[in-house]
Structures are given as structure tokens and as C-alpha cells.
């Protein structure tokens, strides 16, 4: 697969030692009318927007992407929880495969259902190995996908699945503790995955403070995703 401009621009940022921050905006929790005020309060270091969620109604992502792009020039990437959360209005799509679980519907089923529409809309695709890590409380991802998160110890099985994802063609790995996790992905896990893989590492779930953000960066995260903290407080770090 030919690497697209969005992915290459991301690699260019990383090659200049710039750590990236994506704010995840869930169409179920954010209306189009809320966008201008939300964007005004974002951290200055925000580099990307992720749009999506586990249970987003059809067309909701499309409307939200258009609203974001009306007020910001930052890249908007889709973070879909279901095959029908695809819109050509976005700049790129994280084409997720949930490798932490063994439910075929989220390993290949949803991806198969989305393939034709993704091809038709012409959006840039970023193949992503998606791993759900135990964040200390039940997550929506686990409930919807009917899978269990990987335990935080031992670390080796996490590294093995991430590495398998890279060998199967993933262009990045996403370590996810789950929305509203009580504990983010640990620095030890991030470091072990980063030191083994040759692709960028995305980390999300449970990161609420600047200290936690910097700890994830120090461990090797190339892009950190924050969402719940903004939904609840509406404030930057």
C-alpha cells in the first residue's frame, strides 16, 4: 500500500522530534453547535483531531467532521467503532483491527463491511493494529466488541500482538486503555512496544493530566489521544 500524505506528514513531524497530540471528539457527546467553543479551549500542542466512538449513529461523524474543518485547519482522522462511520470529509481513516481480542467481527468482519465504501470515498487509509489494554474498569470497546482487554502483565503478549500487527501490514499501533480508564497504559508497556516495533505508537485512554501526557511521551508514545477530560471539563491542560 502506498503511504498517503497524511501519514507522511505525521512521519515528518516525528522525524523532527515533535510529539503529537490528538483530541478525540465523540459525535455522540459533541454536537455541531458545541464545536467552536470546544476548539477554542484546546491545548496549544494539539496536532490532530480524531472523530469517532464505539456507538456513533450513521452520518453523525460526517456532520461533526465538517463542523471541525470549518473552524480548524488541523488534520481530522476518523477513529471508527463501526463500519458505517466513514466519510470522505475527513483527511484520513485509522483502519483498525482489534488484535487484542479473538472476535472475528472486529478482526476482519467490520473491516470487510467497510471496505467498498472506504474505497469509494477515496479517503486515505492508515492500517492500524488496535490493542485494548486493561485500564482498571470496564470499557465501551470491550462491551461492544465482546472481547476482553489484555492484562497489563506480563508485557510480552502485548508486544507479541503489536509486532504481529506490524508484520501483517499495520502502519501504526494503537495502545488503548479505554475511554475513562482509571489507569492509562503504563510507561513500561509503551516502552516495550516502542523498542520492538518500527512503526509509530499511539497511546490513549485514561490520560487526564499534563504529567500523564509527558510520561507517555517519555516512554515512547509518538501520538497521545485525549478525549474524556475535555468532554467532562471543557478545559485545556
Domain residue ranges in the chain: 5-232
Query: Is the pLDDT score of 209 beyond 60?
Result: yes
Tally DSSP H helices, then E strands, for the chain: 10, 8
- Section 26-40 average pLDDT: 91
* C-alpha span between 92 and 86 (Å, rounded): 10
> Which residue, 114, 116, 115, is CA-closest to 82?
114
Alpha-carbon distance 175 to 20, whole Å?
15
237 vs 18, higher pLDDT: 18
Nearest to 215 by CA among 193, 236, 187: 187
How does residue 157 score in pLDDT terms, banded at 50, 70 and 90? very high
Q: What gap in Å lies between CA 51 and CA 76, rounded to an integer?
A: 7
Residue 89: C-alpha distances to residues 36, 66, 77, 148, 161 (Å): 18, 6, 10, 33, 32
**Gyration radius from the chain CA atoms:** 16
Residue at grid coordinates 496549544: 44
Q: What average pLDDT is seen over the chain? A: 92
Q: How much is the pLDDT for 67? A: 96
Q: What is the CATH number of domain 5-232?
A: 3.20.20.390
The answer to whether the CB of 89 falls within 8 A of the CB of 67 is no
pTM, two decimal places: 0.94
Q: Mean pLDDT throughout 146-167?
A: 96
Q: Cα–Cα–Cα angle for 215, 4, 46, nearest 5°?
A: 35
Closest to 99 (Cα-Cα) out of 90, 87, 111: 111
pLDDT given at position 54: 73
**137: confidence class by pLDDT, cuts 50, 70, 90:** confident
What mean pLDDT comes out for the span 184-193? Answer: 98
The pLDDT confidence band at residue 63, using thresholds 50, 70 and 90, is very high
Average pLDDT rounded to a whole number, residues 179-183? 85
| pLDDT at residue 233 greater than cutoff 90 | no
Amino acid at each position: 500500500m502506498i503511504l498517503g500524505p497524511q501519514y507522511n506528514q505525521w512521519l515528518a513531524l516525528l522525524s523532527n522530534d515533535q510529539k503529537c497530540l490528538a483530541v478525540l471528539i465523540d459525535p455522540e457527546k459533541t454536537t455541531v453547535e458545541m464545536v467552536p467553543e470546544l476548539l477554542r479551549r484546546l491545548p496549544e500542542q494539539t496536532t490532530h483531531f480524531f472523530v469517532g466512538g464505539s456507538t456513533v449513529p450513521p452520518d453523525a461523524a460526517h456532520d461533526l467532521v465538517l463542523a471541525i474543518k470549518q473552524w480548524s485547519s488541523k488534520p481530522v482522522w476518523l477513529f471508527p467503532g463501526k463500519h458505517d462511520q466513514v466519510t470522505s470529509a475527513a483527511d484520513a481513516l485509522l483502519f483498525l483491527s482489534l488484535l487484542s481480542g479473538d472476535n472475528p467481527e472486529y478482526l476482519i468482519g467490520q473491516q470487510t463491511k467497510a471496505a467498498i465504501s472506504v474505497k469509494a470515498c477515496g479517503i486515505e487509509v492508515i492500517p492500524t493494529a488496535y490493542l485494548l489494554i486493561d485500564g482498571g474498569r470496564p470499557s465501551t470497546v470491550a462491551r461492544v466488541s465482546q472481547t476482553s482487554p489484555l492484562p497489563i502483565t506480563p508485557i510480552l503478549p502485548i508486544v507479541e500482538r503489536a509486532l504481529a500487527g506490524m508484520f501483517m501490514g499495520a502502519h501504526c499501533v494503537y495502545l488503548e486503555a479505554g475511554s475513562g480508564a482509571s489507569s492509562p497504559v503504563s510507561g513500561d508497556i509503551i516502552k516495550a512496544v516502542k523498542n520492538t516495533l518500527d512503526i509509530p505508537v499511539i497511546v490513549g485512554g485514561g490520560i487526564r493530566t499534563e504529567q500523564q501526557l509527558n510520561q507517555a511521551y517519555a516512554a515512547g508514545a509518538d501520538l497521545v489521544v485525549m478525549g474524556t477530560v475535555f468532554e467532562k471539563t471543557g478545559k485545556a491542560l
